[in-house]
Amino acid sequence: MQFSALQIATILNGRLEGNPDTRVHVISKIEEAGEGSLSFIANPKYEEFLYRTKASILIINEDLRLTKPVEATLIRVKDAYGSFALLLEKYNHILSEQKSHLSGIQQPSFIAPTAVLGKNIYVGAFSYIGEDAKIGDNVQIYPGSYIGDGVQIGKDSIIFAGVKVYHHCVLGKNVIIHAGTVIGSDGFGFAPQQDGNYKKVPQIGNVVVEDDVEIGANTAIDRATIGSTIIHKGVKLDNLIQIAHNVEIGQNTVIAAQTGISGSTKVGKNCMLGGQVGLVGHIHIADGTRINAQSGLSKSIAEPNAALNGTPAFDYKSSLKSQAIFRNLPELEKRVKELESLIKQLILEKERI
């Protein structure tokens, strides 16, 4: 499959610099691109590759100033990263349409008699769909998946291989769940007893995943003790994330891998949590909060759009200053000792006088 520079510029509403007939047939990283490749630059640290890449077409920001000649045909856009993502989406859509659409029910698989199946669905081999489950139109359930009793899955959703959705959980429309993820496992609820043992607290709630959510591989989202654990519309979760019982994740929040969120914590809308972030239970995170990777948060954040870092997490810029001071402590200690020694010498000299 080939595309010309003119076709790409038209799709992206970009400005061409170079040969409009230049053609590409592969998408590559700029540092690895060869003849016939399409690539992009959005991060300034990769700008050096702009002048030595072998890519045939490059997407760049419209305000990027060139300091040397560039061999590739350029397409200038307002947002190179966003435009490249749009192009990948369209490219992937074309590839998907070229493939035969999966449909039908493969055997062996089990579908309960009371389950309700929509039109044009796909159920892969060795899958299980329980009693009273409701599967919407165009849903794809890949092999080895478990859909429990009373589960609802909205239309156009994709459940990849080995996903487990426990009883009475609800998935919205256009939800994507990647392989190995578990939705609706029991929340971690155990009541300590006088004899030192722990008594399990029944987890009778469910998980509600709203429309347009994507959940990465091997993520676990626990069902609520009472009520629902809620993942709101447009949330994007990475691989290997733990979300505990009764947590609520606000609309369009994104969370990176290995993050853990303890029970009953409420995360606001449009938040960004880096990898390996930890949140304690029963706190509230304001809309637009950004938490840097490997940070630990132990209290609520009331002010919207805060940027946090460290453990315990606090203001991002202040934390960086603190880290710089911490790194310099050995040198500061040395200087303090030198000053103390100098002061002692001055005192002794004064006493002699």
Q: For residue 245, indicate whether it is catalytic.
A: yes
Give domain limits for the chain.
Answer: 3-98, 104-317, 325-352
pLDDT, residue 101, reads: 67
Which position among 168, 178, 232, 245 bears the catalytic label?
A: 245
pLDDT, residue 9, reads: 93
pLDDT, residue 97, reads: 60
The per-residue pLDDT string of the chain (353 residues; one tens digit each, 9 = 90 and over) reads 688 999 999 999 999 999 999 999 999 989 889 999 999 999 888 888 999 999 999 999 999 989 999 999 999 999 999 999 998 888 777 666 655 468 899 999 999 999 999 999 999 999 999 999 999 999 999 999 999 999 999 999 999 999 999 999 999 999 999 999 999 999 999 999 999 999 999 999 999 999 999 999 999 999 999 999 999 999 999 999 999 999 999 999 999 999 999 999 999 999 999 999 999 999 999 999 999 999 999 999 999 999 999 887 778 788 778 877 778 888 888 888 989 888 888 888 877 77
pLDDT, residue 325, reads: 79
> Whole-model pTM?
0.76
- The CATH superfamily assigned to 3-98 is MurE/MurF, N-terminal domain (3.40.1390.10)
d(CA 88, CA 44) in angstroms, rounded, equals 21
Is residue 178 within 8 A of residue 215, CB to CB? The reply is yes
Domain 104-317 in CATH 2.160.10.10? The answer is yes
d(CA 316, CA 153) in angstroms, rounded, equals 40
